[in-house]
Amino acid sequence: MASSSPKNLTTTNHLRHVESMASLPSGAGKISHLNAVILGEALASEENDFVFPSDDFSRQALIPSPHKYLEKYKRSVEDPAGFWSGIASSQFYWKQKWGDQVCSENLDVRKGDIKIEWFKGGITNICYNCLDRNIDAGLADKIALYWESNEPGFDAHLTYSQLLHRVCQLANYLKSIGVRKGDAVIVYLPMLMELPITMLACARIGAVHSVVFAGFSSESLAQRIVDCKPKVVITCNAVRRGPKTIHLKDIVDAALVESAKNGISIDVCLTYENQSALKRESTKWQEGRDVWWEDVVPKYPTTCDVEWVDAEDPLFLLYTSGSTGKPKGVLHTTGGYMVYTATTFKYAFDYKESDVYWCTADCGWITGHSYVTYGPMLNGATVVVYEGAPNYPDSGRCWDIVDKYKVTIFYTAPTLVRSLMRDGDEASCISNLVYTLKSPSDKDQSNSIQFYFVLISRLLSLQYVTRYSRKSLRVLGSVGEPINPSAWRWFFNVVGGSRCPISDTWWQTETGGFMITPLPGAWPQKPGSATFPFFGVQPVIVDEKGTEIDGECSGYLCVKGSWPGAFRTLYGDHERYETTYFRPFPGYYFTGDGCSRDKDGYHWLTGRVDDVINVSGHRIGTAEVESALVSHPQCAEAAVVGVEHEVKGQGIYAFVTLVEGVPYSEELRKSLILTVRNQIGAFAEPDKIHWAPGLPKTRSGKIMRRILRKIASRQLDELGDISTLAEPGVVDQLIALADS
């Protein structure tokens, strides 16, 4: 059905909260009933403190106040067609404008097939808008990409005009081998400049890129090849990540053998020679199929005609895991995604033309698509691309890169934040020392003495964070999972010097861009809360029957109405698309996440609903328990899963990684449990604390909770594929410590 402007949405719960907060006078000193803290001052210990941007930051911000946010937000939900068409018309190039209907949607399975369309009939090209449009606007000589090698001291950069030339050369090559509009291209590349170049080249000629994270196994890669049937696979021979060399071409070779067994043969494998990792003479080669990038691409012209496409033509496929084990091919189209990612990037990071932006995500994930390549470049931004591991050669590498390129906006994952916290800084060392001195047990006196020496040695060593300036930073960002308040505070106080607002973004592969996020200059923040919805997004919290819940509550997070960046289907399986996302609560997009809304209207993501543990009738979000555990000064990281319990139904099983140098002890186990009891309640106490030297993570830092559930349940013969783990040996360590 055709969309119409939503009626009287000012009566919705979240908008009432927004209006209420917007009516408050700005500044901490004027708000008597809020325990407010100005950015730039040390945060207090209470988790619900309000953290306000400084007056100076707000004055210069794109959205400088709650009032300005409310003004734009109200328009975006009361007149979405007018709001988004105004942005699309004024900020992007269209070869041909769309018709009278800006949006057409049906999100209710009871009324027919699910359908979302934005700007249909509008003709554009996202590569043209990323590059040509910016060059025409005078940015030809502006740095588009800074590239930093895994090995310190090796780097490169491209201006916008140089980047366009490189993109056109690859686009011309792809056309020469028969790649046409609508054809799929599998991209299995690490974080070299050639990765965003490839994405943009595909978009320029209307090909559909499917980037596969260069850490997936050959079996996983083969699954994706078989599903999307690409014309070509693009890879490189190898990559260095930290001290390791990963032979990507070998993985691709094995995947192509496997896909051929399933009837999908690939005629061309374009391979970039990454000389710092592996020379071409050491690379396995299949004549007639394999082609060296450097031998062919640079020979093609540096100009390439644009393939103009409809706004609803496919832009890319990105596979994400599903509950059935079969990867889901999330399909995003061109026009709406272009407008939405550019707009979310601009406002959520308060982007200025002088900013240097670094997102640590890999382009193999949606964050790398929306907020490494498309969102920043649509705004003409300068982007840092880093090939290596964030802790190589030591845990100061991130801050070394920040200082080197004068990074102003730094966007990363809570997993990385907690990992860097664990490696130490002066503040965390002191807090651990104070904690130990307060209550050392006689039983563990010798361990305490050992711990003192460890802490003192760390205090005397060069500190990984504080030895770098980081003065260029002005905005920080968090992505991928809820960030626990203690990690938020460390990120804010230590990394940002107590002066940089944190954009704690909630969104998904399926949403294309930010959905709930702070706007740095507008809203007071609460550590760990994603705050309020972005323009045009109408989040609702529903109960198990799908009834919207008002006020302070917890439940299932859904979205009412569509937004331009929404995915349109699952490739080749529209029925699964409808069943997974729209049947659970008809009339809404079901996110699969749990959410709480506090008395002030702030949203707190509690994790996937399948990561909710039902203990004696209490629904407990694993993220909530993990946050409580990590707040303990001697806990570096925690992952919580549910296990069967003969009395409670489900029990809470916690894997805990301690701060480096802290020994395991029964007293510490009891202290961790008491921390959860004090913060959440006795019903949330972990039944088991499993000491974990490390957690099973993919190379992008995602914790593989599937493996943790199997270990917790002692289903050790059902661990499945662990080839994508950064450190597969961690699994054996966890099994060995299962009964300790």
For the purposes of burial, counting CB atoms within 10 Å of the CB of 736, is it exposed (0-12), middle (13-18) or buried (19 or more)? exposed
Q: Which of 552, 693, 150, 46 is nearest to 389 (CA)?
A: 150
String of DSSP letters for 695-708:
--BBTTS-B-HHHH
| Residue 687: both structure tokens together | 């039944």
Q: What is the distance between the alpha carbons of residues 47 and 45, in angstroms, rounded to a whole number?
A: 6
DSSP track, 45-95: S-TT-EEEPPHHHHHHSSS-SHHHHHHHHHHHHHSHHHHHHHHHHHHS--S
Cα angle: 464, vertex 466, 470; to 5 degrees: 105
Out of 610, 611, 721, 739, pick the active-site residue: 610
Q: Which two tokens stand for residue 180?
A: 């046409």
Q: Distance between CA 315 and CA 173 in Å, rounded?
A: 19
CA distance 579 to 89: 35
| Terminal-residue alpha carbon distance, the chain | 59
Phi/psi of residue 482, nearest 5 degrees? -60, 135
Instruction: Confirm whether 610 is a catalytic residue.
Output: yes
Where does 186-280 have alpha helices with state H? 194-204, 218-228, 248-261
E strand or H helix that includes residue 332: strand 328-333
Q: Are strands 244-246 and 103-106 parallel, antiparallel or unpaired?
A: unpaired
Closest CA to 248 of 270, 231, 227: 270
Encoded tokens for 249: 């071409």
Q: Which two tokens stand for residue 733?
A: 């360590």
The CA distance from 140 to 163, in Å, is 9
- What DSSP character marks residue 12? S
Nearest of 247, 277, 480, 470 to residue 361 by alpha carbon:
480
Six-digit token string for 544: 């198990």
Name which of 730, 736, 652, 737 is nearest 691 in CA terms: 737
Q: Omega into 393 within 30° of 0, i.e. cis? A: yes
Q: Evaluate whether 356 touches 325 at the Cβ level (below 8 Å).
A: no
Residue 703: φ, ψ to 5°:
-75, 130
* Whole-number Å distance between alpha carbons of 572 and 566: 17
In whole angstroms, give the CA distance from residue 152 to residue 356: 19
Token pair of 457, please? 């040695």
Q: What is the DSSP letter of 203?
A: H
Angle at 680 between CA 678 and CA 684, to 5 degrees: 105
- The residues assigned a catalytic role are 610
